[in-house]
Amino acid sequence: MRAADESVSAGDARREAFTRFARDAEPRLRIALAAAVGQELGKDAADEALAYGWEHWERIEPMENPIGYLYRVGRNWVRTPRRLRLPAVPVDHTPYVEPALPAALASLSDRQRVVVVLVHGFDWKHAEVASLLGIDTPTVATHLRRGLAKLRRHLKVEIHA
């Protein structure tokens, strides 16, 4: 009977550890994946990645960057021949964003789009983005600089010094 009690408490501890992790990781994972692949697909990818995380928690928990690993799981889940489809801004109302922004964001590389959206849309620090994507902080800065330059060209925005 004692082995059964230990098994139950180990299961409870596993569930508790994953629940704590998922509570913190889910919003960040969903936002990052939405930035990469669009809102609806990003939410689905985050759900799939967290389900995978639960199934393989014993292997994932000790990892140095489990959320970065699950980000890659979500990206791999999405990899199909479909194109990114960001929602169009309706023209019959006053937009909260530049109407051409979704098309401009879609023109960026996946990395550039994720970095630009996370840094400027959600105020993530470069180090947080670097950790999630598994890249160096200076590489984040490079993707950000190039992504913003491409957005400016696409939107015909001029910077006057």
For residue range 22-35, list pLDDT tens digits in order: 999 999 999 999 99
Residue among 154, 119, 155, 156 nearest 139 (CA): 119
99 and 154 co-located in one domain: yes
Q: What's the Cα-to-Cα distance from 18 to each of 41, 53, 144, rounded to whole Å?
A: 23, 8, 32
> Do both 80 and 109 map to the same domain?
no
Residue 86 vs residue 41, higher pLDDT: 41
pLDDT 10s digits, 8-24:
587 788 889 999 999 99
| CATH code of 158's domain | 1.10.10.10
* Cα–Cα nearest to 35, from 130, 108, 97: 108
Residue finishing a domain among 85, 102, 124? 85
Residues 64 and 122 in one domain: no
pLDDT score of 49 = 94
C-alpha distances (whole Å) from 34 to each of 45, 57, 92, 127 are: 9, 23, 25, 19
* Number of domains within the chain: 2
Domain, as residue range, for 74 = 1-85
Q: Average of pLDDT values for 105-131?
A: 92
